[in-house]
């Protein structure tokens, strides 16, 4: 098998800009191209390159239905891939305007074709969003994760008997919405959990009790807001809720941890499809959330930082400070794209590259 469409970050960036009608990247400096790429797709060239590489060499990482066909491992397939990114980032009003940006017909800019590529990106969540073993280890810090809910506005489902259904309404938006529970590791900048889709009126504590509660070991703690206040002894033992009786240093530690989590949520909400009212089928919404969260995690692995690192203030059981230097050193080791790795991967898959661009 010969792969001809695995692209370096520079080539991926140039192609993605070339596909856009009205954008003329030729002769422009690299920093201009990178800024223009982020403005239109919301992701860096390294992230797009790494994701495309992971899709090409998915192996058993993603389900068979989401793997690329031989014809899709091409420039044509890469165009469909970046179109899915553009769709989530910009959320065009209709297929006509969307198709015109990429000079394709309306039928290629709507429905199952776009959704198929979003599902493929979301399938990479198995590689990026997972519960690492160090969160369960007795040798690591006591405070391991922060938990928070994210509400995304949607059209309100119609009912035959009532004007509205309170269970579908989000108190944050006073609007119909869906909700997700997200957990972020304190030990590293990593999303480790995203729940299933819930209606906007479901309480955060109800969602927590369904699955995530069972994943937290009894010798560990999660930092949460007051929405998770509980009287259950087993929940009190693992949930760290703000309290005026705590020391000032510990209150500051909790505050920074929660703000750090909010900075991750903010990165998600930069995508227009999550920031504005969602207009499509709700059943499809989780694929979009996973695709965006996976893309954000790629960005974090490539060196982008959450707004607040969490100093431990000498608090027992708290994670040590992760400074900018360590963050960048880890990022340099985590960037997955280089030509040596591509050649090694080709040999492992009994294939060769006719061209590494």
pLDDT of residue 164: 67
Would you kindly state where each structural domain of the chain is located, as residue ranges? 2-123+330-353, 129-322
Average pLDDT for runs of 10 along the chain of length 357: 73 95 87 95 96 88 81 93 97 94 91 92 95 91 94 81 72 85 94 95 93 95 94 94 90 92 95 94 94 97 81 66 43 46 50 44
Distance between CA atoms of 202 and 169, rounded to whole angstroms?
A: 9
Pairing label, strands 175-185, 239-240 = unpaired
- State both tokens at 240: 């760290």
Identify the H or E element spanning 144: strand 143-153
DSSP sequence for 219-242 = T-EEE--GGG----HHHHHHEE--
pLDDT of residue 230: 92
pLDDT of residue 305: 86
pLDDT of residue 351: 45
- Is the distance from CB of 319 to CB of 141 less than 8 angstroms? yes
Distance between CA atoms of 329 and 334, rounded to whole angstroms?
A: 9
């Amino acid at each position: 098998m010969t792969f001809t469409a695995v692209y370096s970050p520079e080539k991926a960036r140039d192609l993605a800009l070339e596909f856009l009608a009205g954008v003329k990247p030729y002769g422009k400096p690299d920093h201009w191209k990178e800024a223009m790429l982020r403005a239109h797709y919301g992701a860096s060239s390294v992230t797009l390159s790494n994701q495309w590489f992971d899709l090409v060499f998915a192996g058993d990482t993603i389900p068979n239905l989401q793997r690329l066909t031989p014809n899709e491992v091409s420039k044509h397939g890469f165009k469909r891939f970046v179109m899915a990114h553009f769709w989530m980032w910009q959320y065009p009003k209709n297929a006509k305007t969307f198709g015109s940006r990429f000079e394709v017909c309306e039928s290629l800019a709507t429905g199952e074709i776009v959704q198929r590529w979003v599902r493929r990106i979301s399938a990479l969540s198995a590689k990026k969003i997972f519960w690492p073993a160090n969160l369960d280890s007795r040798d690591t810090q006591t405070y391991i994760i922060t938990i928070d809910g994210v509400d995304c506005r949607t059209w309100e489902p119609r009912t035959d008997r009532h004007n509205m259904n309170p269970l579908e309404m989000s108190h944050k938006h006073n609007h119909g919405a869906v909700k997700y529970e997200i957990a972020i590791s304190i030990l590293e900048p990593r999303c480790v959990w995203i729940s299933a889709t819930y209606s906007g009126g479901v309480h955060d504590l109800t969602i927590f009790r369904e699955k995530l509660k069972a994943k937290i070991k009894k010798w560990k703690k999660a930092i949460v807001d007051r929405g998770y206040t509980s009287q259950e002894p087993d929940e009190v033992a693992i949930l760290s809720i703000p309290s005026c009786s705590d020391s000032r240093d510990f209150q500051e530690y909790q505050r920074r941890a929660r703000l750090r989590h909010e900075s991750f949520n903010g990165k998600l909400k930069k995508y227009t499809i999550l920031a504005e009212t969602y207009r499509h089928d709700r059943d499809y919404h989780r694929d979009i959330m996973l695709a965006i969260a996976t893309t954000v995690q790629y960005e974090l692995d490539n060196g982008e930082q959450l707004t607040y690192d969490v100093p431990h203030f000498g608090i027992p059981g708290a994670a040590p400070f992760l400074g900018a230097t360590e963050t960048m050193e880890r990022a340099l080791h985590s960037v997955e794209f280089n030509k040596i790795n591509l050649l090694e991967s080709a040999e492992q898959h009994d294939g060769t590259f006719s061209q590494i661009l």
